[in-house]
Amino acid sequence: MKQRFLTVAASMLALTALVTGCGTGAASNQSTTTGSNGTNGTTTSNSSGTTTAGKTIKIGLVTDTGGLNDNGFNHLAYVGMTNAQHQLNGVSTSVVQSQSESDYVPNLSHFAQNGYNLVIAVGYLMEDAVKQVAKEYPKTDFLIIDDNITGIPNVASAIFQSEQAGYLAGVVAGLVQKNHELKGLNTKNVVGVIGGQDIPPVDTYIAGFQQGFKKEDPNGKVLLQYTNSFSDEALGSQYAQNEISQGADIIFPVAGGCGIGAINAANSAKVYAIGVDTNQAYLAPKSVITSATKGVDTAVFDTIKAVQSGTFKGGVSTFNLANNGVGIAPLMKGLPQSVQTTVNQVKQQIISGQIKVSTTVQK
Amino acid sequence: MIFSDPEIWAATLSMAVPLALPAIGGTFSERTGVVNIAMEGIMLIGAFFAVAFSYWTGSAWLGLLAALICGGLTAAALAWGAIRVSADQTVLGMGINIFAAGLTTFLLNTLFGFNGTPISTPKLPNISIPGLDNIPYIGVIFQNQSILVYIMIVLVIVSHWFLFHTRLGLRMRSVGEHPLAADTLGINVWRIRYFGVILSGLFSALGGAYLSIGVLNGFTANMTNGRGYIALAAMIFGKWTPLGSFGAALIFGFSTALGIVLQGQGISSNLLQMIPYALTILALAGLVGRAVAPAADGIPYDPRRS
């Protein structure tokens, strides 16, 4: 019997590998490989020169395991790419979602091999895969989100100083807790942070959040837990319930799809939440106070534009509050204007360098 | 002391449900002699259609019904392949898992788009049983749990009684141990096996629906996160009995809950995350004594040939 289980496990692994292998081919076939404006890559004259830089380019997007449904940075990258497809002439796009971490290299190579001009890798977790594949395909340009790869000329990296966005979100949480700005808050002044994994793109948000919160509410308490998952919603919900049972009434999940479950739990328990990456108020309008955002869509759009106009450069670009690369979503209605005023002040202080936000998490 | 905190037991119970239900389902299927590793896929199907119909009809109960129907149909397909066509049951089950993962993600994106299922999707109620509520420690554990938690507890007991203390249960077990002998006694082996496999589909779909409209009110791609496979381990750990499966599911649920609660105590979350899997390995390595599968498990039976 035990043997049978082993056989099952082994065949499961083999099949998973098989499926994901096929997945690359299949996914790209069914995905949106339409050229914009209907002029599909037929060999019509592209030397007309009337449209703005109408060079035909192919863009491939590889998501991490969070997938396009993460309501977060994978989704944002997709939004940026779709915007480029609609607004720039001659951009055709394709997406592959990674089912597991072992898919990263095959998925990236798949696009490079098929002559894509730019391959976008969403996420820090793809760093090694990008380094490997970019060296094998020097003619293809790569963009990696949330990581700083230097020294490879065909790799551009977009780094987000999300600690600044986290700081602003922390300021909001601190003010709300200290002054009990929202109804239903308890008197314990506890906020609960849920991280997906102990990695820099997650921890920068969290570090900023902790500092911002402590600045406004020095006696408040920040709980911090990691789920080790970016996709298990039910687990995220369970973590949130645990923090809520410890008195937390503002939950800040930085855990992709897993965090959606945490917001769901906060909503069910009638406590509050702060969204991440994109404005997540639509997930729970009565619970989400604000969201710490980062402009992955902008970074993707700008890079596609650069590739098309031939100005693509390798190296690291930093996005922060000063260039609106990170920020904070509009505050929930019903919060006093004073909160917004403080947020604006703090934002200016960060931009001017008066407030320095550390990226180290307090554990 | 963390173990005296009822919160950890509440979390244990709630994390055990999506393992116990498919594990009991698997028990029914394997007891009749059909290997079922498709719990993961059927859970996904159940989870998706529960949300879809819950949203379209505005009633979580109708969503649950739709989940059961779709899960039952998927299991029927597995049963047909395994029983009528005598196909390799492991390959069939794996096929269903892969099919379900693709189908549900495709339908999610086609019907609802990348922003996911609508937030207005109704979910099954959380209830507290009056009376139970007032018992000091136990009351807190059962406070405000999903109604499916109570349904699961009833199902565990009924399943065990059914499998070991009723005539049909005895027939199911006999078909799984020695189909030829059962056949000569006039038991319709195929019919009993269809019954067992479809029953396992219903239980797995219920487990999936617990995740999507019991804990949450939405579906995300691959939201079962391998729980169907852990349920497979729970079934073996529980020695192919409903009570045993439930016990194993509780242990796995407890290790997840422990992982959550211990995090504040300065223990690495990465280590804690390993507990369920380490336990599975220990279980399979014979920690709980020899686990013996039903003798005819996985072997197709063709009455025309014997």
Per-residue pLDDT tens over the stretch B62-97: 999 999 999 999 999 999 999 999 999 999 999 999
In a domain, A147, yes or no: yes
In a domain, A41, yes or no: no
Spatial distance between the Cα atoms of A314 and A102, rounded to a whole number of angstroms: 25
Spatial distance between the Cα atoms of A67 and A327, rounded to a whole number of angstroms: 23
Q: Report H helices in A246-281.
A: 256-268
Give the pairing of strands A248-254 and B145-146. unpaired
Spatial distance between the Cα atoms of B116 and A327, rounded to a whole number of angstroms: 24
Spatial distance between the Cα atoms of B179 and A178, rounded to a whole number of angstroms: 70
| A337 and A219 co-located in one domain | yes
Which of B90, B263, B264 has its CB closest to that of A8?
B90
In a domain, A59, yes or no: yes
Residues 15-44 of B with CB under 8 A from A: 15, 18, 35, 37
| A170 and A281 co-located in one domain | yes
What is the pLDDT averaged over residues A73-85?
92
Residues 160-219 of B with CB under 8 A from A: 211, 215-218
Residues of A in contact with B273 (CB under 8 A): 228
| A220 and A260 co-located in one domain | yes
| A153 and A239 co-located in one domain | no
Please judge whether B222 and A231 are an interchain contact, meaning their C-beta atoms are less than 8 angstroms apart.
Answer: yes
| A128 and A240 co-located in one domain | no
Spatial distance between the Cα atoms of A273 and B7, rounded to a whole number of angstroms: 21
Residue B191, min C-alpha distance to chain A (Å):
25
In a domain, B272, yes or no: yes
Domain CATH number, residue A182: 3.40.50.2300
Whether pLDDT at B272 is above 80? no
Token pair in block for residue B58: 């505005």
| A237 and A209 co-located in one domain | yes
| A107 and A68 co-located in one domain | yes
Whether pLDDT at A43 is above 80? no
| A102 and A199 co-located in one domain | no
Tens digits of residue pLDDT in A339-352: 999 999 999 999 99
| A213 and A343 co-located in one domain | yes
Question: Which residue shows structure tokens 């929930």?
Answer: A332
Band the pLDDT of A10: cuts 50, 70, 90: low
In a domain, A230, yes or no: yes
Please judge whether B264 and A1 are an interchain contact, meaning their C-beta atoms are less than 8 angstroms apart.
Answer: no
Residues of B in contact with A198 (CB under 8 A): 269-270
Domain CATH number, residue B189: 1.10.3470
Tally of domains in chain B = 1
User: According to the model, what pLDDT value does residue B144 have?
Assistant: 82
In a domain, A45, yes or no: no
In a domain, B304, yes or no: no
Please judge whether B11 and A228 are an interchain contact, meaning their C-beta atoms are less than 8 angstroms apart.
Answer: no
Residues of B in contact with A288 (CB under 8 A): none
Please judge whether A5 and B18 are an interchain contact, meaning their C-beta atoms are less than 8 angstroms apart.
Answer: no
Please judge whether A223 and B264 are an interchain contact, meaning their C-beta atoms are less than 8 angstroms apart.
Answer: yes
A270 φ/ψ sector (left φ>0, alpha ψ -120 to 50, else beta)? left
Token pair in block for residue B106: 């495709």
In a domain, B298, yes or no: no
Higher-scoring residue by pLDDT: B266, B196: B196
Q: Which of B182, B227, B218, B223 is nearest to B26 (CA)?
A: B227
**If you write DSSP's letter for every residue of A87-102 in order, what string do you get?**
HSTTEEEEEEE-SSGG
| A241 and A339 co-located in one domain | yes
User: According to the model, what pLDDT value does residue B277 have?
Assistant: 74
Please judge whether A71 and B115 are an interchain contact, meaning their C-beta atoms are less than 8 angstroms apart.
Answer: yes
In a domain, B182, yes or no: yes
Band the pLDDT of A32: cuts 50, 70, 90: very low
Interface test with B, best of A74, A83, A231, A233 (most B CBs within 10 A): A233
Q: Which of B169, B21, B36 is nearest to B91 (CA)?
A: B36
In a domain, B179, yes or no: yes
Residue B218, min C-alpha distance to chain A (Å):
9
In a domain, A312, yes or no: yes
In a domain, A9, yes or no: no
- Chain A residue with CA closest to B221: the answer is A69
pTM of the complete model: 0.83
Residues of A in contact with B208 (CB under 8 A): none
Interface test with B, best of A5, A61, A69 (most B CBs within 10 A): A69
Three-state DSSP class for residue A174:
helix
In a domain, A171, yes or no: yes
Tally of domains in chain A = 2
What is the pLDDT averaged over residues B165-190?
94
* Domain span holding position B9: 2-287
In a domain, B295, yes or no: no
Tens digits of residue pLDDT in A140-181: 999 999 998 999 999 999 999 999 999 999 999 999 999 998
* Domain span holding position A59: 53-160+295-326
Please judge whether A1 and B291 are an interchain contact, meaning their C-beta atoms are less than 8 angstroms apart.
Answer: yes
Task: Report CA torsion sign: A295, A298, A304, A310.
Answer: negative
Give the range with max mean pLDDT: A63-77, A92-106, A337-351, B215-229: A337-351
- Chain A residue with CA closest to B144: the answer is A269
Token pair in block for residue B201: 């589909």
In a domain, B306, yes or no: no
User: According to the model, what pLDDT value does residue A116 have?
Assistant: 95
- Is the minimum CB–CB distance between B11 and chain A shorter than 8 Å? yes
Residue A123, min C-alpha distance to chain B (Å):
18
Please judge whether A242 and B298 are an interchain contact, meaning their C-beta atoms are less than 8 angstroms apart.
Answer: no
In a domain, B61, yes or no: yes
Spatial distance between the Cα atoms of A209 and A346, rounded to a whole number of angstroms: 13
User: According to the model, what pLDDT value does residue A30 have?
Assistant: 33
Residues of A in contact with B11 (CB under 8 A): 238, 241-242
Interface test with A, best of B17, B109, B145, B216 (most A CBs within 10 A): B216
User: According to the model, what pLDDT value does residue A7 have?
Assistant: 55
Please judge whether B232 and A5 are an interchain contact, meaning their C-beta atoms are less than 8 angstroms apart.
Answer: yes
| A207 and A345 co-located in one domain | yes
Please judge whether B261 and A5 are an interchain contact, meaning their C-beta atoms are less than 8 angstroms apart.
Answer: no
| A322 and A337 co-located in one domain | no
Tens digits of residue pLDDT in A197-209: 889 999 999 999 9
Please judge whether B269 and A19 are an interchain contact, meaning their C-beta atoms are less than 8 angstroms apart.
Answer: no
Please judge whether A242 and B232 are an interchain contact, meaning their C-beta atoms are less than 8 angstroms apart.
Answer: no
